[in-house]
């Protein structure tokens, strides 16, 4: 079974000596893709699962393009 490449932390920080990785790069990419998908005037709230799945398809493609394999 292979694990999905999440790209690692998107916004890691080390404030006050406490490591906080935040969201993964995959989640960041998916959120950005989703924002773009929903900017289409024909996007409807009737198909949120379809848009969410599409966002992660785009996120995985972006991770693959930058050299990681999802």
Bridge partners (DSSP) listed for residue 9? 24
Question: CA neighbours within 13 Å on the CB side: how many for 2?
Answer: 5
The Cα 20–Cα 60 span in angstroms is 23
Residue pLDDT, tens place only, 31-59? 999 999 989 888 776 788 999 999 999 99
Q: What pLDDT is stored for residue 61 in this prediction?
A: 95
Q: What is the pTM of this model?
A: 0.74
Asked whether 53 and 24 are in contact (CB, 8 A), the reply is no
Residue pLDDT, tens place only, 10-30? 887 888 887 788 889 999 999
In three-state secondary structure terms, 19 is: strand
Q: What pLDDT is stored for residue 69 in this prediction?
A: 58
Q: Which of 3-7, 16-20, 46-50, 62-66 has the highest mean pLDDT?
A: 62-66
Bridge partners (DSSP) listed for residue 19? 14
In the chain, where are the structural domains located?
24-65
């Amino acid at each position: 079974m292979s694990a999905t490449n999440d790209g690692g932390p998107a916004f890691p920080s080390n404030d006050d000596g406490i490591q906080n990785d935040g969201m993964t790069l995959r989640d960041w990419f998916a959120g950005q893709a989703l924002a773009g998908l929903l900017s289409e005037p024909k996007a409807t709230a009737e198909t949120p699962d379809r848009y969410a799945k599409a966002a992660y398809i785009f996120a995985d493609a972006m991770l693959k393009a930058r050299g990681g394999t999802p």
